[in-house]
Amino acid sequence: MTTKNVTIISDLQYGDAGKGSIVDYLTRENDAHTVIRFNGGAQAAHNVVTPDGRHHTFAQFGAGMFVPGVQTYLSRYMLIDPPAMLSEGDGLAANGVANPFSRTFIDRDALIISPFQQYANRLRELARGDGRHGSCGMGIGETMADYLAHGDEVLFACDLADAASAQRKLRFLREVKADALTHEFAALAGNERARDMIAAFTDDGLIDACIEVYAYLAERATVVDSGFLADLLARDGTVIFEAAQGVLLDEWYGFHPYTTWSTTTFANANSLLAAHNYTGAVTRYGLIRAYMTRHGAGPFVSESDTLTRLLPDYHNGTNPWQQAFRVGYFDALAIRYAMEAAGEVDALVVTNLDRMADVPAWKVCTGYTYTGDAGNMDTYFVRDGEKITGIRVNHNRDLDYQGELTRRLWDCDPIYETFANTGDIEGYVAWLESLLAKPVAITSAGVTADDKQRRVFSQSV
């Protein structure tokens, strides 16, 4: 008998742990009918390589779209960049994905990123100079901040087909952003990279062009109300919830201010299920690489120049906004922190195990030493004598706490333990299980679905 199943994927690191590849695998393995995006937006870079060698970097479509018939649903927690989405859809079609827009549904309450919000994001980052936050430059934070400040005055998916509403809201956002960027306009007046972005705030043609693009997207994809999701969840079969970014970048649990304006835990997915009284099976997977990575600025205790050199990423590198892609040894403290912040992790998925062959010593960070001001240490860390053995989670949405925790993490150095039997992948995975006290359900040792392996797993473990 067919039953309803939901699988939720959340990245427990700083993003880039292989969500796209795992969603593609799970879509195929479970014959899923829909992939739901439940946070983030066009900044996602979820890479999928099919067994026949096709590659696509999924940003706004669900990463199961290579499988015929699979739908994408962009929930109300998603932020949409219409020009980028149109370009991505055409790229998918050219890559053999039949009718991607006809299989794509957008919740009417999903936020729309305007060019003014995107430019504001980039201008603020440029003005920060060496103090950058590591933004992707896609306007996510600006759009969320404007929504929190102005509510219904910002753009939503339901405005895409309404030219009058879109024009009014675009003019409003242009004025709001221009007023907020007075300092940046002055500071960047002679900056070559900023020139065209600043000029865009006085270009009336940009608003007209946006309205045309919005109407075209509304014609190609389908904007739906909340009843559509209720019907999806009532269907027999499997639905996969695909997260963006990672829990260590979460807006409330990440290391502020080097974070995203997005909830990267399971919380949004849980809210969508509860809102529609979903009663089927739910499995929540925490995704980790076999080592750590971070794209952009922020504390990274186990960062290693050696590993950064030895493990260049297949699909990530230095770019103008996030800047450097950094690599380090697996950090058990950071992952245990992310697991507690995320809550309800049923099992783990470990990716990039094939890359361990390039790592000369298989080390894991199992503690920190601290070189800074020791006052109030126990507020932020769990200690065994002078050794830090855990990072305390604050569930009170306290950015002052997160900022102070971040300041202290800059003064932490790693304490490593080494896995003796280099080359024993299964032994290494078992070691990670023991360090994290959580079973590993799936391992990945390559880029395609064929490179994944399901291990014996029971939610009762």
Is the Cβ–Cβ distance between 334 and 289 less than 8 Å? no
| DSSP annotation string for 203-267 | -HHHHHHHHHHHHHHHHHSEEE-THHHHHHHHSSEEEEEE--S-GGG-TTTS-TTSS-SS--SSH
Q: For the chain, how are helix, strand and coil distributed in percent, rounded to 5?
A: 40, 20, 40
Q: In 292-446, which residue ranges form alpha helices assigned H by DSSP?
A: 305-310, 332-342, 377-380, 399-409, 425-436
452-454 and 440-444 beta bridge pairing: antiparallel
For residue 133, the model assigns a pLDDT of 60
Neighbours of 200 (CB within 10 A): 15
What's the half-sphere exposure (Cβ side, CA atoms, 13 Å) at 117?
25
For residue 389, the model assigns a pLDDT of 98
Cis amide leading into 299 (omega within 30): no
For residue 42, the model assigns a pLDDT of 87
Contacts of 353 (CB under 8 A, 6+ apart): 290, 425, 428, 429, 443, 444, 445
DSSP 159: G
User: Nearest Cα to 264, choosing from 242, 279, 245?
Assistant: 245
For residue 2, the model assigns a pLDDT of 59
For residue 322, the model assigns a pLDDT of 58
Torsion of CA 68, 69, 73, 74, to 10 degrees: 30
The CA distance from 202 to 198, in Å, is 8
Tens-digit pLDDT string for the chain (461 aa)? 458 999 999 999 999 999 999 999 999 999 999 999 999 988 888 999 999 999 999 999 999 999 999 999 999 999 999 999 999 999 999 999 999 999 999 999 999 999 999 999 899 888 887 765 656 678 888 999 999 999 999 999 999 999 999 999 999 999 999 999 999 999 898 888 889 998 888 898 999 999 999 999 999 999 999 899 999 999 999 999 999 999 999 999 999 999 988 999 999 999 999 999 999 999 999 999 999 999 988 999 999 999 999 999 877 656 565 568 999 999 999 999 999 999 989 999 999 999 999 999 999 999 999 999 889 999 999 999 999 999 999 999 999 999 999 999 999 999 999 999 899 999 999 999 999 999 999 999 999 999 999 997 544 33
